Amino acid sequence: FNKQVPRLQTNAASKNWDKFLMPVLTGKTVGFVGFGNIAQATARLCKGFGMRTIAVRRQGSLEGVEEILDEVVETGSADATRVFAESDFVICSLPGTPATHHYCGASEFAAMKPGSVFISVGRGSCVDEAALAAALDKGGIAGAALDVFEKEPLPEDSPLWQRPNVLISAHNADLTEDYMDLAWGTFLQRFEEFRAG
């Protein structure tokens, strides 16, 4: 979205030579909703681009992540929507639990600043998809990149299909050529840790 790929695709389809300024990532803010392994790996990459990183997490402390996270807001605090309001990109990687069901809903999407992008890579149940579609319809959010959904496969009648400002992948963002090798390596490492006590 930062490189305006939908705009580029539209220009290519219409043979339109549209020279425009490309935005940069430096100085932009990434807000993480949940700060587990996925978010921490992503935050490291974001810091490499000179981005500000903030997160909503259960542990309301920077302890152990101060090199990759600039600010933390504790889950459930009144300030939690501030992460949505201050971020150019919001990345939700929450696990699916009763406490996280529809954590990203209408009020969170309404808090997002104009032109921001919502990214969901955790569990689909954490996102109120109807509220997201409504926010996209209002035009405040520039777009969404979604890899997980409340119901998979995503039903054909979902309002998220066929939108130029939504990227949809079939819960396969992590299904890479080396997936099985990495998974097996992680299993063996955890097994050895278990055996060692």
The active-site residue, picked from 44, 66, 152, 190, is: 152
Kindly report the backbone phi and psi dihedral angles of residue 116, in degrees, each rounded to the nearest multiple of 5, phi listed first.
-80, 165
Catalytic residue among 86, 123, 129, 150: 123
DSSP letter assigned to residue 61? S
Does residue 102 carry a catalytic annotation? no
Cβ pair 88, 117 in contact under 8 A? yes
171 as an active site residue: the answer is yes
Task: Enumerate residues 6+ apart whose C-beta is below 8 A from 149.
Answer: 124, 129, 158, 160, 171
Q: Are 148 and 158 in contact (CB under 8 A)?
A: no
**C-alpha to C-alpha distance for 90 and 81, rounded to whole angstroms:** 11
Determine which one of 171, 177, 192, 193 is catalytic: 171
The HSE-up count of residue 149 (CA atoms within 13 Å, CB side) is 21
Compute the distance between CA of residue 35 and CA of residue 42 in angstroms, rounded to an integer. Answer: 10
* Structure-block tokens of residue 192: 């050895």
Please give the positions annotated as active site. Answer: 123, 152, 171
